Amino acid sequence: MKATQRSDYTFKYNKKLGRHGWLRLTPAYSVKLVKEITDNIPDDSFILDPFSGTATTGLVAVEHRLSAHCFDINPFLIWFGNAKCRNYSKSELRKLKSGIENTLTECKMIVNKDNWVPKIHNINRWWCEHTLKVLAALRQALVNQFGEPKKDNVSALAWVAFCRLIIETSSAAFNHVSMSFHDEVTTFEIEQVEYLYLEIVNVIIQSASEELMGLASVHFVDSREPVFIDDVRYSHVITSPPYPNRMSYIRELRPYMYWTKFLDTARDAGELDWKAIGGTWGIATSRLQDWESNGIELPETLRRVVTKILETNEKNALLMAKYVWKYFHDMHLHFHSLRNSLKKGAMLSYIVGNSSFYGIQVHTEKLLEDSLRSLGFTNIGSKVVRKRNSKKELFEFCIYATWKETRKYEPVFLGVNSAQWEQRSLF
Ligand SMILES: C[S@@+](CC[C@H](N)C(=O)[O-])C[C@H]1O[C@@H](n2cnc3c(N)ncnc32)[C@H](O)[C@@H]1O
């Protein structure tokens, strides 16, 4: 059986699923995948997602009466994730609607003023001057009505709708794995923007009115560090960490983050990405040149692959070798810290992709399995989830393990059983 690209195991599956579809982000994983992992787990389970992103795990958990804590280092995603996982009362939503009517009235009155626009590099690639003027007025009217989007209250929905609006009016194209630009920038009149905004608001309010039965919260935590929230010990870790493929999560998030003032300058974007495992945006790459490991013991298999990358003698071989080294170094630190917050028998499911540098295969799943093994996890293995693209060697895997328990754990999903996996005919 050959693994296929399975778009139902990507972010594409989430687009029409209520809150899951609020904002489109390529690195988000599929609700279907998370559901297949959470199916049949006991009601009293406490899930951890240490790399929350758009809080897909948190939201699946609360939709199924489960509890979850989610961590991320990106303040926009923490704000957004909490907005997704929270309940909204009828009266809150009524108030929001009338606030939005006031906002639209004000927007018309201030559209010709000199309103604030974000310092996005080459902004006219995204929006023409005319559309920018309308968006800036709507933004200012939202600020006047609700304040900046930093508080955890119902107004987050008005801001999430604004985020979606800026993408829908932009020339951003999402026709492949990552984002690119259409050649033409469309001009939107104020009436069109208002209409579109109201349409988005209505869709968001509709899904926000559905009651969530579980509890999930997203916290500002660097997952390489030990952390205890309310002294919880987790029974399941379900997550998708960054992949070692030099794709920065911040790339797609920039428009949202600049317009909502979670980011101010390009330098800030690089600073934030330097904190992210596998980050490479702006300054993050130059910092990597000077980075040294803190001397922790890492699997011998990692040393071998890093050496092979170095030996290609390509122009950036040293940088790429460091990149791979630091990625697995950071993931090792993460597993190391994680042990403190797990219940005995806790089950881990990590969805992650492999990569290749100058033709050298980086078997992410095997390297992370080696890390887990050296740190005392048991029942370690992995399954292919899907083929990533047309390149024959790129796959997504589910790596699984348990914490100090002999009971066999292997997620029941994906239709690829261990025997088929063992054949690994694709390599
Ligand atoms: C692949 S994304 C997760 C996507 C998520 N499963 C979803 O459905 O949206 C990885 C996330 O890890 C976060 N991250 C990177 N380094 C981190 C760290 N050291 N601690 C916590 N989160 C981190 C990134 O900000 C990003 O949101």
Query: What CA–CA distance (Å, rounded) separates 332 from 364?
Result: 12
How many percent of the chain have pLDDT more than 70? Answer: 91
- The mean pLDDT of 74-79, rounded to a whole number, is 96
Query: What CA–CA distance (Å, rounded) separates 49 from 418?
Result: 25
Band (10; pLDDT cuts 50, 70, 90): confident
- HEC string of 268-320 equals HHHHHHHHCCCCCCCHHHHHHHHCCCCCCCCCHHHHHHHHHHHCCCCCCHHHH
pLDDT at 2: 59
Cα 339 → chain centroid? 23
Q: Using CB atoms within 10 Å of the CB of residue 266, give its burial: 0 to 12 exposed, 13 to 18 middle, 19+ buried.
A: middle
Judged against a pLDDT cut of 50, whether residue 15 lies above it is answered with yes
Mean pLDDT, the chain, integer = 89
Please tell me if the CB atom of residue 350 comes closer than 6 angstroms to any atom of ligand 1: no
- Distance of CA 240 from the midpoint of ligand 1 (Å): 7
Higher-confidence residue of 173 and 326: namely: 326
The 8-class DSSP code of residue 9 comes to: G
Judged against a pLDDT cut of 60, whether residue 104 lies above it is answered with yes
Higher-confidence residue of 8 and 177: namely: 8
Task: Find the range with the poorest average confidence among 34-43, 58-67, 292-301.
Answer: 292-301
Band (419; pLDDT cuts 50, 70, 90): very low
Q: Whose CA is nearest to atom 2 of ligand 1?
A: 53
Q: Whose CA is nearest to atom 25 of ligand 1?
A: 74
The enclosing H or E element of 398 equals strand 395-403
Predicted structure pTM score: 0.92
pLDDT digits (tens, 9 = 90+) for 156-184: 999 999 999 999 999 887 655 566 777 77
Please tell me if the CB atom of residue 59 comes closer than 6 angstroms to any atom of ligand 1: no
SS3 326: helix
SS3 362: strand
The enclosing H or E element of 324 equals helix 317-338
- The mean pLDDT of 35-53, rounded to a whole number, is 93
Residue to probe by mutation, ligand 1, list 11, 29, 51, most atoms within 8 Å of CB: 51
Judged against a pLDDT cut of 80, whether residue 304 lies above it is answered with yes
Q: Which tokens is 252 given?
A: 């797609």
pLDDT at 176: 55
pLDDT at 241: 97
- Distance of CA 226 from the midpoint of ligand 1 (Å): 16
Query: What CA–CA distance (Å, rounded) separates 57 from 54?
Result: 8
Judged against a pLDDT cut of 60, whether residue 423 lies above it is answered with no
Judged against a pLDDT cut of 50, whether residue 57 lies above it is answered with yes
SS3 155: coil
Number of other CB atoms surrounding residue 152 within 10 Å: 12
Q: Per-residue DSSP letters for 83-137?
A: HHTS---HHHHHHHHHHHHHHHHHHHHHTTS-------TTGGGTS-HHHHHHHHH
Largest separation between any pair of C-alpha atoms in the chain: 68
Band (414; pLDDT cuts 50, 70, 90): very low
- For strand 67-72 and strand 215-220, is the pairing parallel, antiparallel, or unpaired? parallel
pLDDT at 251: 86
Higher-confidence residue of 10 and 48: namely: 48
Rounded to 5°, angle at Cα 371 from 388 and 395: 10
Judged against a pLDDT cut of 70, whether residue 406 lies above it is answered with no
Please tell me if the CB atom of residue 272 comes closer than 6 angstroms to any atom of ligand 1: no
- For strand 67-72 and strand 395-403, is the pairing parallel, antiparallel, or unpaired? unpaired
- Which is the closest atom of ligand 1 to the Cα of 29? 8
Query: What CA–CA distance (Å, rounded) separates 369 from 372?
Result: 5
Number of other CB atoms surrounding residue 124 within 10 Å: 12
pLDDT digits (tens, 9 = 90+) for 335-394: 999 999 999 999 999 999 999 999 999 999 999 999 999 999 999 999 998 887 766 688
Residue to probe by mutation, ligand 1, list 47, 251, 277, most atoms within 8 Å of CB: 277
Judged against a pLDDT cut of 90, whether residue 222 lies above it is answered with yes
Judged against a pLDDT cut of 60, whether residue 78 lies above it is answered with yes
Q: Whose CA is nearest to atom 19 of ligand 1?
A: 222
> Among 144, 156, 158, 149, which residue's Cα sits nearest to residue 100?
158
Residue to probe by mutation, ligand 1, list 48, 72, 245, 399, most atoms within 8 Å of CB: 72
pLDDT digits (tens, 9 = 90+) for 241-288: 999 988 888 888 999 999 999 999 988 999 999 999 999 888 888 899
Query: What CA–CA distance (Å, rounded) separates 273 from 61?
Result: 27
Please tell me if the CB atom of residue 280 comes closer than 6 angstroms to any atom of ligand 1: no
Higher-confidence residue of 182 and 55: namely: 55
pLDDT digits (tens, 9 = 90+) for 204-213: 999 999 999 9
- Which is the closest atom of ligand 1 to the Cα of 54? 9
Between the CA of residue 331 and those of 97, 123, 256, what are the distances in Å?
A: 44, 35, 27
Judged against a pLDDT cut of 90, whether residue 24 lies above it is answered with no
Amino acid identity, position 291? W
- The mean pLDDT of 119-145, rounded to a whole number, is 95
Number of other CB atoms surrounding residue 251 within 10 Å: 15
- Distance of CA 72 from the midpoint of ligand 1 (Å): 6
Query: What CA–CA distance (Å, rounded) separates 415 from 208?
Result: 33
Exposure b/e, 346-381, CB count within 10 A at least 16 = b: bbbbbbbbbbebeebebbbbbbbbbbbeeeebbbbb
Query: What CA–CA distance (Å, rounded) separates 253 from 260?
Result: 11
Between the CA of residue 259 and those of 16, 86, 100, 138, 349, what are the distances in Å?
A: 24, 23, 18, 11, 34
Band (411; pLDDT cuts 50, 70, 90): low
Q: Whose CA is nearest to atom 1 of ligand 1?
A: 242
